[in-house]
Structure 1
Amino acid sequence: MRSPIEFRCAIFFILCLAYLPLTVQAEEQTAETKLVRVAVFDYPDKESNGPRNLKQFLTPANGFKYQVVRPAEIRNGVLKDFDVLIMPGGSGSKQSKALASEGRKAVRQFVQNGGGYVGICAGAYLASSHYQWSLGVINARVWDRQHWARGAETVEIGLTPAGQQVLARGPKSYKVRYQNGPLLVPDNQQHLPGYEVLASFETEVARNGAPAGAMVGTHAIIRSKYGAGRVICYSPHLEAQDGPKSLVASGVYWAAQVD
């Protein structure tokens, strides 16, 4: 016959075995909820370069859950399932056209309600307050827009103190891939707050009739708020092969308001 102590130990062991799967499941669910849910916009049927580059580092190992979303899905309310929307490179006007009025409204509402918006190159054009087709979620216009196709080249950007705090605590200057991104400067839209500069261009591209000296000093990375949400825009392609991709990942984290 078992002693009372042995009986109690056996009961305790059985209860521990029963509780263990629940503990593991709870830990897995907690890990899942910690991932930043990132929607990456793409509208051609074939995967484009921006989403292809982004999915290389927006991984669960780095704290992200990545999914491509299409214009029709945005119009149908899919953004409610995400923390951040990334608008990658391409054509800002074509992105706007693909979204249509209902989709643009859905994106603005998503950010207004607390979602994050990350615009890269074309996505920064789209976010600006400059064009009729723009979303107008950041108080920025495009400098020297008539020479937007100024060329593609490696250029140097310099982080501001705010940029070093938000994006990278390492070097101040980085060589990055530039490919006709917007030269961002402040706009004067009274209903929008001013933006904060995180990085400026320190060297330039001046081809196809673009005047020399126009690019240096304009803003390469900026951030602001729109309603309860956050907006960050990158003119150059930091998500490209040579990066530095960590500066994009840090911006996505900031936009998701996990800081």
Structure 2
Amino acid sequence: MINTIRVYNDIGTSVLCVHNTIQLFHHFFPCANVFKISSSEIKTNKWIESTDLLVIPGGEDLPYLDKLQIDGIELIKSFVFNGGKFLGICAGAYFSSSYIKFFLTSQLVIEGERYLKFYEGNAIGPVYDGYQPNSESGAHIVKIMYKNTYAYVYYNGGCYFDDNNNKVEGTHFALYEDGKKCGYTRRYGKGKILITGFHFEFDEQCCSHLLSKLSYDDFESRRENLVRYIFSLLSDC
């Protein structure tokens, strides 16, 4: 059961991503308690026993690293290992991987090791052209392939997952239309991890400016089916 959800909210998180993530849980888990949590609160470890799911939403990965640091990261790992659930979306997926390569331009690359290592491979992005920090100029509606079907979702700067020729534990459950891996889940100790390079928390109202070739109903019905599938994977523990 997922009764108490905490959504990371600190320097680097996108206001829109945090808001939409909280709204998503209010819609799909109407009886759950949903709270924001800061880096300083995570470092206290007082949240662990009262939390079922921790979410690291979209934003910018480097400030997450700077604010949480090793002590916060180790508490997150302990939380999941001892039975907690973890969801990382877009920047949260970069942050959850072992190594990232993020190409802002051909001359400007954010690259380096990360320390959660829930996904023991590389998170590489952006997958689609046009990304600009704090801008909608590179936002797209993209097609996600999963479980012999597909959905449309919001995308802005997210990653794909590269196993780097390693035998990685867990399951890649979703692909971008070009075949790159973009949804990953695994068990970690007694807990469960799920990360995505795309945003599934943005509904049709948030995406209305990008839906010129899609009907609202087609976008939303397919997105909601994907969301239900994602939550079924996350709850399977």
TM > 0.5 = yes
1:119 to 84, 88, 91: 88
Please give the TM-score of this superposition, normalised by the length of structure 1: 0.68
8 A Cα contact 2:12 2:64, kept in partner: no
Measured against aligned partners, the alpha-carbon deviations of 1:203-252 in whole angstroms (never above 9, x if no partner) come to xxxxxxxxxxxxx2111211112222111111111101336255345534
Does residue 1:56 correspond to 2:33, yes or no?
Answer: no
Compared CA separation, residues 232 and 146, structure 1 to 2 (3 A): closer
Q: Secondary structure at the match of 2:23?
A: coil
Which is helix-richer, 1 or 2? Answer: 1
Does residue 1:251 correspond to 2:230, yes or no?
Answer: yes
Q: Name 2:141's counterpart in structure 1.
A: 154
Measured against aligned partners, the alpha-carbon deviations of 1:113-170 in whole angstroms (never above 9, x if no partner) come to 1111100000000111114234101223124679997532111111135xxxxxxxxx
Structure 1 unaligned regions, length at least 5: 1-33, 162-171, 203-215
Q: Name 1:173's counterpart in structure 2.
A: 150
- Which moves more between the two structures, 44-53 or 108-117? 44-53
8 A Cα contact 2:185 2:233, kept in partner: no
Considering only aligned residues, what root-mean-square deviation do their CA atoms show, in Å?
A: 2.8
Compared CA separation, residues 117 and 35, structure 1 to 2 (3 A): closer
- 1:86 Cα shift? 0.6
Does residue 1:186 correspond to 2:168, yes or no?
Answer: no
Give the total of aligned pairs.
200
Provide the C-alpha distance between the structure 2 equivalents of 1:253 and 1:57, rounded to a whole number of angstroms: 15
Provide the C-alpha distance between the structure 1 equivalents of 2:12 and 2:123, rounded to a whole number of angstroms: 30
Q: Where does structure 1 differ by over 6 angstroms across 4 or more consecutive aligned residues? A: 145-149
Q: Name which one, 1 or 2, has greater alpha-carbon Rg.
A: 1
8 A Cα contact 1:138 1:225, kept in partner: no
Q: Name 1:220's counterpart in structure 2.
A: 182
Structure 2 unaligned regions, length at least 5: 100-111, 132-137, 205-219
Provide the C-alpha distance between the structure 1 equivalents of 2:203 and 2:183, rounded to a whole number of angstroms: 18
Which is strand-richer, 1 or 2? Answer: 2
